[in-house]
Structure 1
Amino acid sequence: MKHLHRRDFLTRSALATAAMATPRYGFSSLVKADEYVEVVTTHGRLRGARNEGVTIFKGIPYGGRVSGDRRFRRPAPLAPWTGVRDALQFGSPAIQAPRRNEPDPAEDCLFLNVWTPASDNRKRPVMFYSHGGGFVGGSGASGAQDGANLARNFDVVVVETNHRLGLLGFLYLDELAGADYAESGNMGMLDIVAGLKWVHNNIAQFGGDPSNVMIWGESGGGAKTSCLYAMPEAAPYFNKASIESGPGVRMLPKDVAAETTARLLKELNIAPEDWRKLLDVPAAGLLAAQNKLPPVPPFQEKSNPHSQARRDYSGFGPVVDGVVLPHHPFDPTAPAISRNKPLLVGWNEDEYTFFAWQSKDTEFAKLDFEGIQKKLEPQYAQDASKIVDTYRKENPNASAPAIFVAISSITMMGLGSVDIAEKKVKQGGAPVYLYNFGYKSEKKIPGTDYALGTPHAMDISFKFNNELPPRDGSAPTESYFGGNRPERFAASRHFAELWTTFARTGHPAAKDVPFWPAYNFNTHPTLRIDSTCEVIDNRFRQELAMWRSIGEL
């Protein structure tokens, strides 16, 4: 067991995606239908299924082929179809390990899903979600992010895409392969932009407003949202954003991306001048090679990008290539291109407990305060004692494991979130709202008496309003993460209503939730989201001051 810092995040975040594809929130292969609904799109007619007040369209193609001679390039044009195409089954996710309750992964994966109250041209807000899983896993069909309850209960249209991941989405060939492969290091992000363009051209037919689109995402999806917020090609297609437990302040520099490409070629025994042989390697072979390279997190450290600590890895994610991604999303400043677009950003209070649960780490629950300091010293050296002392002083009744969880959680997701909020305020444009999700699950981490609390990824089912009593009036079943307490239903309602109101108006608000002021440098307000919500001014003031003093913020 080791202290989980941001650089350790990618491997664990892929596990988060796997955990979300569980039977508790799983989908059958076909939509259950009370009736079928047809919609005309720019490429042909689609048939979706209407059930319990929501119309669902699954597996809509939004781009053409990305295999064969289109590998590592922009998609082939999407060919129109004749007749009516069924949109009743999810499309293939990107190449990765097989996903439960989903089609087999495939290289051609450009499909999206739509949940809408009705295809009636009413111009509802559109919530365009990017899934988690770092940049190597996940799908727009992940279980907990079913969009039906958001559409049904809050009158919004929800859209989720599949897009290229891993080396098929982010292999940097710009310096090796010439003009035809320019932008190759950001193909996965450009796929998402293609999905946004599809929404712009078609969503009115599904009851959505193409001029009122919110981009949002959790974990790796938050990092993707951070990139979209800074991408000129995405800018015309959304007007507000939410970055949840995935603060993508910095992305891969070109030199690190080029080194990753060199390591991949070496792994495959391909000389650089023979790079075209990559086009002939089966996708399964590329995935196997990808899995042999140590991963990188979906956001980069604040330290010098040329230091050995920063270059001791290889992996795949968006590249700051100066064109598709002109600069780091939030370094040195918030992106000017999105100056006038409101932003939500925040994290879960106990992010770390998810990773402890996934990796079967029970040792953290046995730590004493001396043990915490020893675990922090390899990363923070002489500052380790200062970190522990600050957290003990500010949390005098907390146990040693609770202090360790607090430190690990804020270094993973909190510091980057605060950094983004502060840079957005300094920009002087649209408001930014900072939050912490704090509903506490009573479920214990197996092998310990330590409760999950508010782990990484638990927010997904809450903000999608999928923590609800059964519609048939039967007794509620245990939530996958959230436990058994009925208070979770109120927390889910608050979270979902805040986000859908933000999508509609640009200001988050909900019934029985206090007014949420924009983040500012006078009161530093943070909304704590729970069954009862609270605005907390200057939250973590001393802890953040300490992190600044040692150069981590």
Structure 2
Amino acid sequence: MSTATAEADLTVHTAEGPVRGRNTGTARVWRGIPYAQPPVGDLRLRLPQRPDPWQEVLDAGRYGPWAPQPLRRVLPGADAKTPMSEDCLTINVTAPPEAGEAPLPVLVFIHGGGFSTGSAAMELVDGARLAAAGNVLFVSMNYRLGALGFLDFRACSTPGRTFDVNVGLADQVAALEWVQRNIAAFGGDPGNVTLFGESAGATAALTLMCVPAADGLFHRTFLQSPAAAAAYGPDLASQWANEYLGLLGAGQDGAAKALAGLDAATLTRAAEELSSRIAPESRPGALSLAPVVDGSFLPLHPLQAFGDGRASSVPMVIGTMDNEGVLFDRLHNILPTSRDRIERMFDQTEPERRDRVIAAYRGYPHKKQAVELGGDAVFWYPSVQAAQAHAAHAPTWSYRFDYAPRAARAVGLGATHGLDLAAVFGNYDAGTGRMLLSMGNRRTARNVGHRFQSALLRFARTGAPGPMWPRYDRTSRRTKIFDRYDRIELDPRTVRRQAWDGYRGYR
């Protein structure tokens, strides 16, 4: 086949215009396709707008720019040549090496990074192996991060300049709308879309289940370590916006000018200061960069929507790592993993409930138990709340990922936050994946990863993760434990769950 013919075979006509991908040998890829207009100039901090159509063939061979984020926190294993820009609203499609005849299931991935870092270009979340292993289409997108995506500046609007809220979440809705318009042209089935993500990506996917504008755009969700309670009402969101403006040195009168006119790097530095220093100390356990319960785009707090049966009734798999908090205590220091922060986290809680929770962590306030408590507060217990609520209205499965390669155990991380990414993507030869296997356990790690990945792929194809994985319900709370040898446990950590029951955090 000639080069010209091969390129023609990789040219796809989308609703906006033609795009040409490339064949990497292991996958067919189309990268950096605009799914919305660049959110710059008058569109900064506004809801995304559908892109203008184009006539010439768009070269879709490279990832689009990373969203603006702190340079020192750019994650490893990423394409260092990919630039950083506010013009970041692009989407990527990865297909198996050979085209088939029947429409393929579609997996849409939302990357994590605390709503402040990350990119679809990270090597660890490359979807080529996933697409080939499952004969599926893999889709990923970049979306606005930090202050440009997840702070509420509506109060700063003026007659000449309007600011919207939840624009980062709205970007994800726009990307899902793009999938509905265009994925059939790539060989995908728009009626079979599985939305999945890890960390902030899973939090976003869970939240989108409660966003009316996203209803019908996806058909099941697979959620890895969501911070399910990380959405806040307008009062707390307004406090964070005011604290952020203070970091910019902008009073209310000059806020609109600062937000519209300052460069992205300045806005990003202030958001980093707010999210990594101020918020963890003043309100431990809350994430200042997060969705806002605004009453319209996001009408209810997600956990309330789940409890009321008003979340999307799609099948859901949800789970966490065995010890979520260790990674943050070691690297990012943003969770309530110390005695001082834990005490402040419970300031708004009845003393009896606080005492009951603390008593469930025998050995507290020693560091190990404090780290476990902080990780449970942000990740594990809210996931339990979401699972038990959703199970009353839709098929739900729960898991815990306990496996940790020898290298992770040797440095004291264990099965902590993010170590399931190499498993689900099959990317143990990527940067972080290579480190995890640097001390051996290759065969075991790959076997565990294969079982985890297979559950996702089976879920995407059939709507259930497998016959050996029973549904979750509020009575038995059957949970799959992924480890060297998988097992089903009934109501894992019963004592801790009962101790946390009734805790509402910052809601």
TM range (shorter): 0.7 to 0.9
Deviations 1:487-523 (A, max 9, x none): 00111101111011111111102xxxx6111111221
| Residue among 186, 191, 195 paired with 2:175 | 195
Q: Retained in 2: the 8 A contact 1:58–1:91?
A: yes
Matches within 5 A, 1:488-503: 488-503=445-460
Structure 2 CA distance for partners of 1:508 and 1:282, relative to 1, 3 Å: same
Residue 542 (1) aligns with residue 499 (2): no
Distance 1:542 1:203 in 2: 46
2:129 paired with 1:163: no
Cα distance change on mapping 1:377 and 1:192 into 2, 3 Å: closer
Distance 1:403 1:311 in 2: 16
Contact 1:240 1:506 in 2 (8 A): yes
| 1:523 lines up with 2:479 in the alignment | no
Unaligned runs of 5+ in 1: 1-33, 301-307, 365-371, 394-399, 471-475
Give 3-state SS (helix, strand or coil) of 1:293's partner: helix
2:202: which partner in 1? 222
Between the aligned partners of 1:208 and 1:160, the Cα distance in structure 2 is 14
Contact 1:295 1:313 survives alignment (8 Å): no
Question: For the Cα contact (< 8 Å) 2:302–2:311, is it kept in 1?
Answer: no
Local SS of the residue matching 2:143: coil
Q: In structure 2, how many angstroms separate the alpha carbons of the residues matched to 1:477 and 1:215?
A: 24
Candidates 98, 102, 116, aligned match of 2:95: 116
Which sits farther off after the overlay, 324-333 or 485-494? 324-333
One-letter identity of the residue aligned with 2:436: F
Could you tell me which amino acid in structure 1 is paired with residue 109 of structure 2?
Y
Q: Alpha-carbon deviation of 1:440?
A: 1.9
Instruction: State the shift of 1:539 in Å.
Output: 1.4
- Show the counterpart of 2:424: 463
Equivalent AA in structure 2 for residue 438 of structure 1: D
1:416 to 375, 382, 390: 382
Compared CA separation, residues 76 and 70, structure 1 to 2 (3 A): same
Residues 58-113 of structure 1: per-residue CA shift (max 9 Å, x gap): 11111112100111112344122223211111100111134452422111110111
Q: In 1, distance between residues paired with 2:458 and 2:37? A: 34
> How far, CA to CA, are the matches of 1:89 and 1:533 in structure 2?
39
Q: 1:245 to 1:181 in 2, by over 3 A?
A: farther
Conservation of the 8 A alpha-carbon contact between 2:112 and 2:202: yes
Q: Offset at 1:387? A: 5.3
3-state SS of paired residue (1:113)? strand
In structure 2, the residue matched to 1:74 is 47
Distance 2:170 2:263 in 1: 23
* Counterpart-to-counterpart distance in 2, 1:312 and 1:547: 14
What SS does the corresponding residue of 1:345 show, helix, strand or coil? strand
Secondary structure of 1:346's match? strand
Please list every run of 5 or more consecutive structure 2 residues that lacks an aligned counterpart in the other structure.
none
**Superimposed CA distance per residue, residues 168-216 of structure 1 (whole angstroms, 9 cap, x where no aligned partner):** 1133233341699777121111011000000001111112110111111
Structure 2: how far apart are the matches of 1:347 and 1:482? Answer: 21
> Displacement, 1:549?
7.7
Query: How far apart are 1:352 and its partner, in Å?
Result: 2.3
Is the 2:197–2:205 contact (alpha carbons within 8 Å) kept by the matching residues of 1? yes
**1:508-553 alpha-carbon deviations (Å, 9 max, x no partner):** 02xxxx6111111221100011242111112111222233387779
> For residues 9-49 of structure 1, what are the alpha-carbon distances to aligned partners after superposition, in whole Å with 9 as ceiling and x for unaligned?
xxxxxxxxxxxxxxxxxxxxxxxxx9542211111111111
Contact kept, 8 Å, 1:294 with 1:315, in 2: the verdict is yes
For 2:219, which of 235, 239, 256 is the aligned residue? 239
Q: Which residue of 1 aligns with 2:29?
A: 56
Shift of 1:130: 0.7
CA contact (8 A) 1:66 1:73 kept: yes
**Aligned residue for 2:317?**
344
Structure 1 residues 292 and 166: CA distance shift in structure 2, 3 A: same
SS at match of 2:397: strand
The residue matched to 1:82 in structure 2 has which SS?
Answer: coil
* 8 Å CA contact 1:256, 1:311 repeated in 2: no
SS in structure 2 at match of 1:107: coil
TM-score (norm 2): 0.85
The alpha-carbon distance between structure 1 residues 69 and 331, as it changes in their structure 2 partners (threshold 3 A), is same
Separation of aligned partners in 2, 1:49 and 1:359: 37
**2:261 maps to which residue?**
280
CA distance in 2, matches of 1:535, 1:180: 58
Structure-2 separation of matches of 1:382 and 1:477? 42
Distance of 1:420 and 1:96 partners within structure 2? 30
- One-letter amino acid matched to 1:436: R
**TM superposition score normalised by structure 1:** 0.78
Shift of residue 461 of structure 1? 1.1
What SS is found at the alignment partner of 2:11? strand
Residue 435 of structure 2 is matched in structure 1 by 480
For the Cα contact (< 8 Å) 2:69–2:268, is it kept in 1? yes
Q: Distance in 2 between matches of 1:491 and 1:128?
A: 22
Amino acid at match of 1:266: G
Listed as ranges, the matches of 1:126-275 within 5 Å are: 126-177=106-157, 184-275=164-255
CA RMSD of aligned residues (A): 3.5
Structure 1: distance between partners of 2:314 and 2:306: 15
